[in-house]
Amino acid sequence: MGFTQDDFTTHSVRLKIITNYKLGFNIFSEFKDFSKLKQKEFNLKLNEYIKSLPADWEKTLLDDFNDICADQIFHKFEPEKMWVPALTGNMLLLTEEQERLSKEENWVLPV
């Protein structure tokens, strides 16, 4: 089955990012912020892209979207340099009042 209006609604954010990329715009640009001329150019490129999708269009669309994200967003991501806190158990976060009360002798933390 071909690309439908429901498919467009479901994948509109991905299509926006793909089209912005193909036009050389910032991938997070919003259609509403474009001039009338850029909106027309965007619509032409978007329709061209949708018409070029193969029968198994969803795989192609997701692959294109993932490639753009990898290139434009995650290309500088270095997970080995990211700090991730070690999970050593449950942590109870207290308000200032609870913190003060917890230091008193007979106070029990609520469950």
pLDDT tens per residue, range 37-63: 999 999 999 999 999 999 889 999 999
Radius of gyration of the chain (CA): 24
On whether residue 43 sits in a domain, the answer given is yes
Rounded to 5°, the CA angle 88-91-100 comes to 140
* Distance (Å, whole) CA 77 – CA 70: 9
Q: What are phi and psi of 22, to 5 degrees?
A: -65, -30
Q: Quote the CA–CA distance of 81 and 84 in Å, as a whole number.
A: 9
In a domain, 27, yes or no: yes
86 in any annotated domain: no
- In this prediction, residue 42 carries a pLDDT of 97
Question: Is 38 within the bounds of a domain?
Answer: yes
Count of other CB atoms within 10 angstroms of residue 27: 17
Q: Is residue 24 in some structural domain? A: yes
Domain that holds residue 25: 5-81
In a domain, 77, yes or no: yes
Query: In the chain, how many domains are there?
Result: 1
Is residue 50 in a domain?
yes
Is pLDDT at 82 greater than 70 in this prediction?
A: no
Residue 42, token pair as written in the block? 């965007």
- 88's tokens: 């050593």
49 inside domain? yes
Q: Are 18 and 64 in contact (CB under 8 A)?
A: yes
Tell me the whole-structure pTM to 2 decimals: 0.67
**pLDDT at res. 66:** 93
